Amino acid sequence: MNLRRRTWEVVEAAKPGDTVSRVFDILLLSLILLNVVAVILGSIQPLQERWGEFFRGFEIASVLVFTTEYLIRLWSCTIDPRFHRPIVGRIRYSVKVMPFIDLVAILPFYLPFFGVDLRSVRVLRLLRILRIAKMGRYYSSFNLIKRVLSDKKEELILTSAMMGLLLVVSSSLLYYCENEVQPDIFSSIPATMWWAIATLTTVGYGDMYPITLMGKFLAGIIAILGIGMFALPTGILGAGFVEAIQQNKVAEKTCPHCGKVIS
């Protein structure tokens, strides 16, 4: 039990004064960053042709390390009261966000060994980039982002619904304005949604644009609405970060035992 507890303390984010856990975190973070660099460099064809074997060997070694880490976490997680039950607790732990990312990041390497066609899972190898998300358990900034998204989820869902409604309405209006004069381009409402997305996000690729007077008038209004609509989630998240940072500052000045403000 003591070994399991100590293992859990080491593999989790380091606490102040725990040198072993801190070294473990640094080494694992370094390996994660090197994996991301390897994925990026491996996409360059000349480097892949010259260093392909090295990239492959590094990939195998990294997967073995990440797999061992995942199994160790799965073995020691029962120390946490939330996952104290041997089977149910480990299942509950494995479906949490970070352990699930750990599993998805290494899964594409093992799928071919279970008879899965390499061609069908080749795209899943892109999920190796998710290893950078493993850093989330080691930095408080990631936890701050998670907290803000959780606190503002209702407002974000509302603004997302409004954006979806605006997308449908704008694409429908432009379809009825432009379909008769540009039947090949504005062929349907779903096809017009591509124009609506490019307009609402102010990207404006220019591959689809209205030529009728009414279409141009509506397009101008939709473009202006898009600017304001996409500013809403930005403002919500900005206010959420300010509130969370202020709460952290207040918590740092509060005694954890009596709850009084520390002068």
CATH number at residue 11: 1.20.120.350
* pLDDT tens profile 114-127: 766 544 444 444 55
Cβ atoms of residues 18 and 9 within 8 Å: yes
pLDDT at 252 over 50: yes
Whether residue 16 is found in the same domain as residue 123: yes
Whether residue 44 is found in the same domain as residue 129: yes
Identify the band that residue 147 occupies on the pLDDT scale cut at 50, 70 and 90: confident
Whether residue 53 is found in the same domain as residue 164: no
pLDDT at 257 over 50: yes
Between these two residues, 21 and 213, which has the higher pLDDT value? 213
Whether residue 85 is found in the same domain as residue 113: yes
* pLDDT tens profile 235-244: 888 888 888 8
| End-of-domain residue from the set 114, 138, 162 | 138
Report d(CA 187, CA 179) in Å as an integer: 6
pTM: 0.60
Task: Tell me, yes or no, whether 209 lies in a domain.
Answer: yes
Whether residue 188 is found in the same domain as residue 225: yes
Task: Tell me, yes or no, whether 62 lies in a domain.
Answer: yes
Average pLDDT of 100-106? 81
Task: Tell me, yes or no, whether 215 lies in a domain.
Answer: yes
pLDDT at 71 over 90: yes
Whether residue 63 is found in the same domain as residue 162: no
Whether residue 225 is found in the same domain as residue 175: yes
Task: Tell me, yes or no, whether 171 lies in a domain.
Answer: yes
pLDDT at residue 250, rounded to an integer: 67
CATH number at residue 221: 1.10.287.70
pLDDT at residue 9, rounded to an integer: 87
Percent of residues, the chain, with pLDDT higher than 90? 27
Task: Tell me, yes or no, whether 257 lies in a domain.
Answer: no
Whether residue 120 is found in the same domain as residue 246: no
Identify the band that residue 172 occupies on the pLDDT scale cut at 50, 70 and 90: very high
Task: Tell me, yes or no, whether 21 lies in a domain.
Answer: yes
Residue 209: which domain range?
Answer: 153-252
Counting the structural domains of the chain, the total is: 2
Over the chain, what is the mean pLDDT? 82
Average pLDDT of 170-185? 92
